[in-house]
Amino acid sequence: AQTVTQSQPEMSVQEAETVTLSCTYDTSESDYYLFWYKQPPSRQMILVIRQEAYKQQNATENRFSVNFQKAAKSFSLKISDSQLGDAAMYFCAYRNPNAGGTSYGKLTFGQGTILTVHP
């Protein structure tokens, strides 16, 4: 079974600085997707960024980028120029699109990292 581990329960950053959130995962598959979701106090899970395992290039979305190390099974999220609105819980998630049948498309989540942004 796939597992996702986020080893940092809490992180903090000063506004305008850069912070990196860690995520490791365990899988025997070669083709899969990885995601970072943001959950603010409103509870809405918002997709931040997505990485396909077959792509060597790291995904980037504006101030958000990832460092995807497939051999090491590591998928960290870097937030540049942090803003107060970035404060939230961040979840790393894994998805195997080829699980077939019963598990197709299911997301497996890490435990989350609470990010605090200081003005």
54 or 104, CB closer to another protein?
104
Smallest distance, another protein to C-beta of residue 87, A: 16
37 or 68, CB closer to another protein?
37
Q: Applying CB under 8 A, which residues contact another protein?
A: 37, 42-47, 50, 91, 95, 97, 101-112
Residue among 87, 119, 92, 116 nearest 11 (CA): 116
**What are 13's strand-pairing partners?**
117
Smallest distance, another protein to C-beta of residue 17, A: 25
14 or 103, CB closer to another protein?
103
Beta strands 10-14; 113-118: pairing state: parallel
Smallest distance, another protein to C-beta of residue 44, A: 5
**What are 5's strand-pairing partners?**
24
| Amino acid in the structure at residue 48 | V
Structure tokens at 107: 């997301």
Smallest distance, another protein to C-beta of residue 81, A: 25
- The span from the CA of 49 to the CA of 23, in Å, is 13
